[in-house]
Amino acid sequence: MTSQLTASPAWRALQQHRADTAGRHVADMLDAARVGRLVLSLDGLHLNYAAHDVSDETLKLLVALARQQQVEGWRDRMLSGDKINNTEDRAVLHTALRQQGDQPVLVDGKDVMPDIRAVQQKMEDFVERVRSGAWKGATGKPIRHIVNIGIGGSDLGPRMVVEALAGSQSVPQVHFVANADAHDIQPMLDGLDPAETLFVVVSKTFTTQETLLNANRARAWLTAALGDDAVSKHFVAASSNVQAVKDFGIDPDNIYPLWDWVGGRYSLWSSVGLSIALGLGMDQFKQLLAGAAAMDRHFATAPLEQNLPVLMAMLGVWQQNFHDTGALAILPYDERLRDLPRFLQQLDMESNGKSVTRDGQPVDYETGPVIFGECGTISQHSFHQLLHQGPKALPADFIVVAEDDLGLPEHHQAVLTNAAAQIGALALGDPSAAVPQNRYSGNRPSTLIKLDRLDPYHLGMLLALYEHKVFVQGVVWNINSFDQPGVELGKQMAKALVSGAPVRPDKRLEVTATYDHWIKSRTP
């Protein structure tokens, strides 16, 4: 059955345009003037889309599709606190967390900004005490190590930001534990002194299996060395489940609240970012929020034709739905951004990996792409072969940083040159080689994002750019980008196996139990 979207005038117009331009090659369009012309910039973030096979007519038709799908209306509803997460009956207000003024933002008639500011002030006071050494552990020693215990959005965002902006140089040093596998937490604990370690347990519900498993392991390790009374000096939590946190033994004064309108993959801007603030300092965390807020303002006010998230989203729709690409490579040409592809995997695939619309109807078009990636130049010696000569022309996002902050131009220039060379080679190809195996078809699209420098402000802008891009695509595809029901069934079945109380006494559990037995059995 044809869906309302694929039967719509804007969709049909793009289908016809794609048919009319099927033989178009970006090599016939790409020249020096185009590289300098097809650019949108905002406060030191620049988006160059010259290597896409789009003309002015293509862009006009893509913007018409965005308007037909009411992107502006959905954007305004999200920013105003409407409950656009219809399946969970929740507002979506990660943007309020980084708002720079105190303009009211209402949820169910209540202004949420005073609560946000109160939590931010509580975070600031605590961060100052820990970083200054005023906060002492149970033995009187200052804190030298922070261990963030979370998973998914409670781990990927804070981990990526700390890695990008401080790495192993943060003081105190920040570590991250997410995997239920003991090989994640135990070697890390073995290298720490309990008296100098603070654990930040991040779980909105405080019921996440992997997080509680690791939190209990950390608690046992700490109390074995320092006793039960030490927990209040060495554990804090970001959670909405106050009672469960108290039952764990964490002092209520050390709980940093979350709200149900903060989705996990959008939560690093909230108290989930406590480990970021502890590692970088609160001033740097505020700059991260300010950069995201700048992108929010641009998204809220710029015309669709000049709106960075909208343009980026619609280029993705062009590739995903009218070129049948199915995947997107994320290629940061900066080692500090090596965790960005993993962060964007969750942001994009957990948001838009859906096959039914907001109202439960099956889709007859592709939604979210498969996201994969790695740092350049490492990726060039890994999977770029597929990008250059695979049967599908997969799009790629190249992310570069203009500033050479280490003062090592031979390295920095090599990275930037390689990024430029890859973009050119993907777009233009080399179809003239005599040997078929050596031919490059070219016509492989890419987006180039350049940051003037990698600092909290510009990183905040970059992350908000991707957040809004994913949202716009969800609106175009008529799906709810803010729930994640697909992750729940496996979690429920794992819980049933552990507890011995089946959730569903049916074939699913029987098969899963068989796999569980087979995995755990010893084989000769």
Which pLDDT tens digit goes with each residue over 223-245? 999 999 999 999 999 999 999 99
Of the listed 163, 350, 374, 467, which one is catalytic? 350
Whole-number Å distance between alpha carbons of 397 and 161: 19
pLDDT in tens, 153-200: 999 999 999 999 997 778 899 999 999 999 999 999 999 999 999 999
| Residue 145 among the catalytic residues | no
Of the listed 110, 381, 392, 517, which one is catalytic? 381
Q: What is the pLDDT of residue 123?
A: 98
CATH 3.40.50.10490-classified regions of the chain: 24-83+302-482, 106-285
Beta-strand (E) ranges in 304-456?
327-332, 370-373, 396-401, 446-451
Q: What is the pLDDT of residue 223?
A: 98
| Residue 392 among the catalytic residues | no
Whole-number Å distance between alpha carbons of 487 and 489: 6
SS3 content of the chain, % helix, strand, coil (to 5): 55, 10, 35
pLDDT, mean of residues 328-356: 98
pLDDT, mean of residues 490-505: 69
Are 47 and 39 contacting, i.e. CB atoms less than 8 angstroms apart? yes
Whole-number Å distance between alpha carbons of 381 and 371: 18
Whole-number Å distance between alpha carbons of 302 and 297: 8
- For the domain spanning 106-285, the CATH number is 3.40.50.10490
pTM: 0.95
Are 473 and 317 contacting, i.e. CB atoms less than 8 angstroms apart? yes
| Residue 350 among the catalytic residues | yes
Of the listed 110, 411, 491, 495, which one is catalytic? 491
The answer, yes or no, to whether residue 501 has pLDDT greater than 70, is no
- For the domain spanning 24-83+302-482, the CATH number is 3.40.50.10490
pLDDT, mean of residues 462-468: 98
Are 253 and 260 contacting, i.e. CB atoms less than 8 angstroms apart? no
Mean pLDDT of the chain: 94
Q: What is the pLDDT of residue 524?
A: 47
pLDDT in tens, 113-151: 999 999 999 999 999 999 999 999 999 999 999 999 999
